[in-house]
Amino acid sequence: MEATTGARVPPKLTGRGQATRGRILEHAAELIYAKGVHATNNEQLRRAAGVSGSQLNHYFPTKESLVLAVIAWQAERVLAFHRSARFTSFDSLDGFREWAKYYTAYERSYQDGCSLGSLASEIIKTDLDVHEELAGAFDQWTDIFRDGLLQMQRLGRLDADADPTRLSNLLLSAYQGGMLLAQIARDVVPLEDALYGAIDYVQTFTTSTSGRDVRSAPV
Amino acid sequence: MEATTGARVPPKLTGRGQATRGRILEHAAELIYAKGVHATNNEQLRRAAGVSGSQLNHYFPTKESLVLAVIAWQAERVLAFHRSARFTSFDSLDGFREWAKYYTAYERSYQDGCSLGSLASEIIKTDLDVHEELAGAFDQWTDIFRDGLLQMQRLGRLDADADPTRLSNLLLSAYQGGMLLAQIARDVVPLEDALYGAIDYVQTFTTSTSGRDVRSAPV
């Protein structure tokens, strides 16, 4: 999940300024992912990133500006990861299975959950004005799945009567909900069941097979 | 979603004490549901419930004790609601469709999300020691679905090769994830797609039909 820290960098920053801002952002994202938004304070962030209070204040004058930048940073990482070659643009069931396999094999999945989803859950009831940023990121995420399913239809791999929008909403919901249940249970099984169940449902729309009898085994 | 406030009441409380504790709890649950755990403070709670600081402190000496009681209260409501007659113990697809219909017709679904799931998301990374309470509540919730699916198998309404545990994890994940996406999008569609998609997947295991051609329409 490599990504740059370039999201929303004000154009006037020097190279050194961008590097400092990027370092703060990286540590803020990590702290927030591990401990949550509310438990992350300026003092911890300054120490982790090795910056002064005035530097922190210069790049992120408010908590809202910091959280917005962390959303953009996490969204960029999640989207870039989903667009990486390993998932072949989700143009086949194998791409979706590779995706499920990645997250169910990844121990931190059921410790800290989805980097973007858990952040969204935590701040959605707060007064932080981050609605558009969050909604835009999740729209792009479902679009990646939907575009893959549309491509599967074009390639004749998915029935014409399958609804790519509906299926992509189910896939992302299964992922987000499965992540939450896995965190609560401290066990990967609910996530496995949700992801492979959703993918097996997509499989019932594949043209090459009846679907029902070749369900993927949980890994 | 009627329920009592009786969960975890210390046995030594008088009737009046129980009533006061119940009133505090009811207001705490409402405040936390609307504003989140972190934005709910003692001052707001005292005003809403009409109690003094010493009363509040008497019944809930720590934030942890209050959050634990709110989890128990919300869990009791959610579980009682799912056990209500309208869902006929989830012993048929109609029961599951009635459930999806309820939540997708309920405007607050995509405003404040699931009362228990959003609370879980918000506190799962905090130091509050509420793991067992949360895990127990969600176990009971999936058990309600699983028991319904097992009953469907006994009644010959669901194929023997369907896996009730796996399907119940998908159903609850679709609900939790769909609720989150609906909150983020401020639109019920992701929740509808997730719930009806998961239920339609269950339908592919029903014995009376091929499943594929009689998918439920989003309401």
Query: In this predicted structure, what is the pLDDT of residue A75?
Result: 96
Contact B121, A122 (CB under 8 A): yes
CB < 8 Å to A193, chain B: 165-167, 169-170, 173
Domain B15-61: which CATH number of 3.90.800.10, 1.10.287.90, 2.30.30.230, 1.10.10.60: 1.10.10.60
CA distance A173 to A155: 25
Average pLDDT, chain B: 89
Query: Which of A114, A181, A219 best probes binding to B when mutated, by most B CB atoms within 10 angstroms?
Result: A181
Q: Which residue has the higher pLDDT, B7 or A148?
A: A148
Q: Is the pLDDT of residue B22 over 80?
A: yes
Query: In this predicted structure, what is the pLDDT of residue B1?
Result: 37
Task: Provide the percentage of residues in chain B whose pLDDT is more than 90.
Answer: 73
| For residues B157-172, average pLDDT | 97
Where does the pLDDT of residue A11 fall: very low under 50, low under 70, confident under 90, or very high at 90 and above?
Answer: low
Homologous superfamily in CATH for domain A83-214: Tetracycline Repressor, domain 2 (1.10.357.10)
Contact B158, B152 (CB under 8 A): yes
| For residues A4-25, average pLDDT | 76
CA distance A172 to B181: 8
CA distance A39 to A56: 17
Where does the pLDDT of residue A9 fall: very low under 50, low under 70, confident under 90, or very high at 90 and above?
Answer: low
| For residues B54-83, average pLDDT | 95
Where does the pLDDT of residue B208 fall: very low under 50, low under 70, confident under 90, or very high at 90 and above?
Answer: low
Q: How far is B52 from chain A (nearest CA, A)?
A: 26
Query: In this predicted structure, what is the pLDDT of residue B149?
Result: 98
Domain B70-208: which CATH number of 3.40.440.10, 1.10.357.10, 3.40.50.150, 1.10.3720.10: 1.10.357.10
Q: How far is A5 from chain B (nearest CA, A)?
A: 24
Task: Please indicate whether, in this complex, the C-beta atoms of B125 and A122 are within 8 angstroms of each other.
Answer: yes
Query: In this predicted structure, what is the pLDDT of residue A209?
Result: 47
Q: Which residue has the higher pLDDT, B112 or A190?
A: A190
* CATH 1.10.10.60 domain span(s) along chain B: 15-61
Contact B183, B122 (CB under 8 A): no
Q: Is the pLDDT of residue B13 over 90?
A: no
Q: Tally Cβ neighbours within 10 Å of residue A2.
A: 7
Query: In this predicted structure, what is the pLDDT of residue B216?
Result: 53
Measure Cα distances from A116 to A40, A72, A175, B14, B61 in Å.
16, 9, 12, 46, 34
Query: In this predicted structure, what is the pLDDT of residue B210?
Result: 40
| For residues B98-114, average pLDDT | 87
| For residues A147-170, average pLDDT | 97
Closest Cβ opposite residue A170 in set B127, B142, B174:
B174
CA distance B166 to B162: 8
Query: In this predicted structure, what is the pLDDT of residue B85?
Result: 94
Q: Is the pLDDT of residue B183 over 90?
A: yes
Nearest CA in chain B to A126: B35
Where does the pLDDT of residue A211 fall: very low under 50, low under 70, confident under 90, or very high at 90 and above?
Answer: very low
Where does the pLDDT of residue B3 fall: very low under 50, low under 70, confident under 90, or very high at 90 and above?
Answer: very low
Contacts of B19 (CB under 8 A, 6+ apart): none
CA distance A32 to A37: 5
Task: Please indicate whether, in this complex, the C-beta atoms of A131 and B186 are within 8 angstroms of each other.
Answer: yes
Question: DSSP assignment of B98-165, as one string?
Answer: HHHHHHHH-TTHHHH--HHHHHHHHHTTSS---HHHHHHHHHHHHHHHHHHHHHHHHTTSB-TT--HH
Query: In this predicted structure, what is the pLDDT of residue B174?
Result: 98
Query: In this predicted structure, what is the pLDDT of residue A152?
Result: 97
Q: How far is B14 from chain A (nearest CA, A)?
A: 35
**Model confidence pLDDT, tens digit, residues B121-157:** 988 888 888 989 999 999 999 999 999 999 999 999 9
Closest Cβ opposite residue B175 in set A177, A204, A205:
A177
Eight-state DSSP code of residue B61: S
CB < 8 Å to B186, chain A: 131, 135
Task: Please indicate whether, in this complex, the C-beta atoms of A167 and B197 are within 8 angstroms of each other.
Answer: yes
Task: Provide the percentage of residues in chain A whose pLDDT is more than 90.
Answer: 73
Q: What are phi and psi of A36, to 5 degrees?
A: 95, 160
* CATH 1.10.357.10 domain span(s) along chain B: 70-208
Query: In this predicted structure, what is the pLDDT of residue B38?
Result: 85
**Model confidence pLDDT, tens digit, residues A15-67:** 899 999 999 999 999 999 988 888 899 999 999 999 999 999 999 999 999 99
Q: Is the pLDDT of residue A180 over 80?
A: yes
Query: In this predicted structure, what is the pLDDT of residue A7?
Result: 47
CA distance B191 to B188: 5
Structural class in CATH, domain A15-66: mainly alpha
Closest Cβ opposite residue B138 in set A142, A174, A185:
A185
> Which of A20-34, A73-87, A205-219 is predicted with the least confidence, judged by mean pLDDT?
A205-219
Task: Please indicate whether, in this complex, the C-beta atoms of A125 and B120 are within 8 angstroms of each other.
Answer: no
* CATH 1.10.10.60 domain span(s) along chain A: 15-66
* CATH 1.10.357.10 domain span(s) along chain A: 83-214
Asked whether this complex has an ipTM greater than 0.90, the answer is no
Query: In this predicted structure, what is the pLDDT of residue A102?
Result: 94
Query: In this predicted structure, what is the pLDDT of residue B2?
Result: 36
Query: In this predicted structure, what is the pLDDT of residue A81?
Result: 96
